[in-house]
Amino acid sequence: MRRMIASLTAAALLAAPMGVAAQELPSTPPPIPAPKPFKVPASETYVLENGMKVTLIPYGVVPKAVVSLQTYTGSINEGPDTWLAGLTLDMMREGAAGMTAAQIAQKAAEMGGGLAVNAGTTTSAVSINVLSDRTTDAIGLVADVAQRPGFPESELARVKANWNRRLAIALTQPGTLANAAVTRAYYGTDHPYGRVLPTPAQFGAYDAGKLKAWHAANFGAKRSHLYIAGRFDAATVKAAVEKAFGGWAAGPERALIPVNPKSGPQVLLLDRPGAPQSTINLVFPAPEAGSAGDIPTRVMNALLGGSFSSRITRNIRENKGYTYSPGSSVALLPTNAVWTFNADVTTAATGPSLTEVFKEIRELQATPPGDEEAAGMRQYMAGLFVIQNSTAGALVNTLATRDSLGLPRDWLENYVPATLAVTNAQISEAAKRLPLDKMTLVVVGDLKVITPQLQALPELKGVEFKTVTVP
């Protein structure tokens, strides 16, 4: 094929002449040269006198800014009062600093945002994403809601009814059932992580006094870190932060509870008669964030099940068509990490799907991946990091995750080189931390059809099948 290559330096005109005389696509793919380096956006962190940390991340050109207050509390500090943190955070939007819920919502909307509250396991957030010229107002609103919630009794019954309705719906979703069962089995019911659902009587008894007391005991400057990312004037923002948060009481230090996961093997079954699919959750302990095994485990995960070109996905989706939605992931919490595989597979293919999953795990344990596949996965993880950290909101999440997990300040800068440095052997070593004889497995499905399939699996021989119910 003879082609005229258009000059690459020609000024681009809107109607450039065709520089092509080919009749078909060149069959040889063009090369992929080395990627450009990725520079982690700069950020500045400082501490207020009361111990609250502040991180500013100037980023981008769109006139918007994210203001996110992350407080190190959540279900971890609930004791036996499951869902108390979630209900408390939700109620904080219902009135604060003398404002009604309607006034709060209207103020937020006038800034171009909506107030988002979220109670996690160890971190809870009050966040808003606004137009740049309203950044200082947004800081004030977040401060009011975080520091001075009113917990109006008049709204409580309604908000609790919403939670109950959400719970009822969640309990009809197989994914929710699987997650609740696996969490309970793995962490045990004596740890907040394992107590995923309250009883109706227990939840019904939470009153405004209880919410107020929990907020007072768990919210404060020392446990909090404010992140502001986007376009804003740093000097104006710093003054607004001091004014809004400088007077906040220091409050308690962060309190974590060590976990003591139950070692497998455990096999738990939930019956869903007539279900067209089985929902599978497979869990193993993983190396903690920042430990030597952390980054190799992430690369291993991408290769095994965590990416679209992973071995498990290519096998049970792209080759066999058993499932649409296979996936695996590493979840990192302070003091704890787990690797999870999940999939919704056609009922008749439940046993065969697990056979393939176990086979892929064993193969990776036995033999390090070849250079091409391993290099591809290292590059995938490095590239994904660049893609995921190119928005203000994502940068807030990444930095907040780094800080919450106690990772060093230069963790972002070191992530790409560390990922590219993982060896093929380390990938295989990481897979060895998924010992099949220690698995925790949950399957939600039509038990009369799938139990015989599971009994036929050699990996499950001799393991007691426990049929459980959720709640």
Partner 1 sequence: MAMKQWVTALALAGAAVPLGLVASPAAAQSAPAKLKVEMQYFTLPNGLRVVLAKDTLSPTVTVGVYYGIGFRIEPRERTGFAHLFEHLLFQGSKNAPKGVHISTISNAGGVLNGSTRYDFTNYFEVVPSNALERMLWLEADRMSAPVINDEVLKNQQGVVGNEVKVNVLNQPYSTWPWIDLPMLANTNWYNSHNFYGELKEIEAATVEDAKQFFDSFYKPSNAVLVVAGDIDYAATKAMVEKYYGWMPKAPPVKLPDISEPRQTAEKYRARTDKLAPKPGWAAGYHVPARGTPEWYAMGLIDQMLVKGQDSRLYRKLVAETGIAGEVGGGINFPLGNMFNYQGPMLWSFNFTHDANRSRDEIKAAVDAVIEDLRTRKVTPEELARARTKMRSSLYSTIDGTGRIGLIDLLAVYALFDNDPNKVNTLEDGFAKVTPELIQKTAQEYLRPTNRSIYVIDPGAAQPAAPAAQQGGK
Residues 245-284 that bind partner 1 (CB under 8 A): 272, 275-277, 279
Residues 315-374 that bind partner 1 (CB under 8 A): 317-325, 327, 344-346, 372
Q: Give the nearest distance from C-beta 89 to partner 1 in angstroms.
A: 13
Q: Give the nearest distance from C-beta 229 to partner 1 in angstroms.
A: 7
152, 252, 352, 383: residue in contact with partner 1 (rule CB under 8 A): 383
Q: Length of the chain in residues, anyone? A: 471
Return the ∠ at Cα 378 (arms to 375 and 383), rounded to 5°: 120
48, 56, 58, 68: residue in contact with partner 1 (rule CB under 8 A): 68
**Site stretch for partner 1 (CB under 8 A), options 55-63, 145-153, 189-197, 403-411:** 55-63
**Site stretch for partner 1 (CB under 8 A), options 193-201, 229-237, 358-366, 454-462:** 229-237
**Site stretch for partner 1 (CB under 8 A), options 54-62, 142-150, 360-368, 462-470:** 54-62
29 binds partner 1 (CB under 8 A): yes
Q: Give the nearest distance from C-beta 188 to partner 1 in angstroms.
A: 27
Of 27 and 462, which CB lies nearer to partner 1 in the complex structure? 27
Omega before residue 265 within 30° of 0, cis? yes
50, 51, 133, 365: residue in contact with partner 1 (rule CB under 8 A): 133
Distance CA 119, CA 92 (A): 11
CB distance 153 to 89 below 8 Å:
no
**Site stretch for partner 1 (CB under 8 A), options 188-196, 197-205, 378-386, 422-430:** 378-386
79 binds partner 1 (CB under 8 A): no
Residues whose CB falls within 8 Å of the CB of residue 118, separated by 6 or more in sequence, listed in order: 89, 124, 125, 127
Of 191 and 298, which CB lies nearer to partner 1 in the complex structure? 298
189, 199, 388, 423: residue in contact with partner 1 (rule CB under 8 A): 388
Q: Coil, strand, or helix at residue 266?
A: strand
Q: Give the nearest distance from C-beta 337 to partner 1 in angstroms.
A: 17
Residues whose CB falls within 8 Å of the CB of residue 14, separated by 6 or more in sequence, listed in order: none
Q: Coil, strand, or helix at residue 173?
A: coil
Of 222 and 415, which CB lies nearer to partner 1 in the complex structure? 415
22, 47, 216, 255: residue in contact with partner 1 (rule CB under 8 A): 22
2, 8, 273, 458: residue in contact with partner 1 (rule CB under 8 A): 8
Of 161 and 217, which CB lies nearer to partner 1 in the complex structure? 161
Q: Give the nearest distance from C-beta 181 to partner 1 in angstroms.
A: 16
169, 249, 292, 366: residue in contact with partner 1 (rule CB under 8 A): 169
Residue carrying structure tokens 């950044």: 135
140, 174, 194, 198: residue in contact with partner 1 (rule CB under 8 A): 174
Distance CA 360, CA 312 (A): 7
Distance CA 277, CA 342 (A): 13
Of 184 and 378, which CB lies nearer to partner 1 in the complex structure? 378
* Full strand arrangement of the beta sheet holding 277-285: 327-333, 336-346, 277-285, 440-445, 266-271, 465-467
x/- map, 111-130, partner 1, by CB under 8 A? xxxxxx-x------x-x-xx
The two tokens of residue 282 are 């497979």
Residues 178-207 that bind partner 1 (CB under 8 A): none
Residue carrying structure tokens 């939840």: 203
**Site stretch for partner 1 (CB under 8 A), options 191-199, 388-396, 421-429, 456-464:** 388-396
Give the ranges where 302-422 is alpha helix by DSSP (H).
311-312, 350-366, 371-388, 392-404, 411-420
Return the ∠ at Cα 397 (arms to 67 and 164), rounded to 5°: 85
Residues 413-452 that bind partner 1 (CB under 8 A): none
Give the ranges where 111-248 is alpha helix by DSSP (H).
135-147, 153-170, 174-187, 200-204, 208-218, 234-245
Distance CA 445, CA 135 (A): 49
DSSP line for 205-229? T--HHHHHHHHHHH--STTEEEEEE
Q: Which residues pair with 71 in a beta bridge?
A: 124, 224
**Site stretch for partner 1 (CB under 8 A), options 79-87, 133-141, 145-153, 196-204:** 133-141
Distance CA 55, CA 1 (A): 56
379, 406, 429, 468: residue in contact with partner 1 (rule CB under 8 A): 379
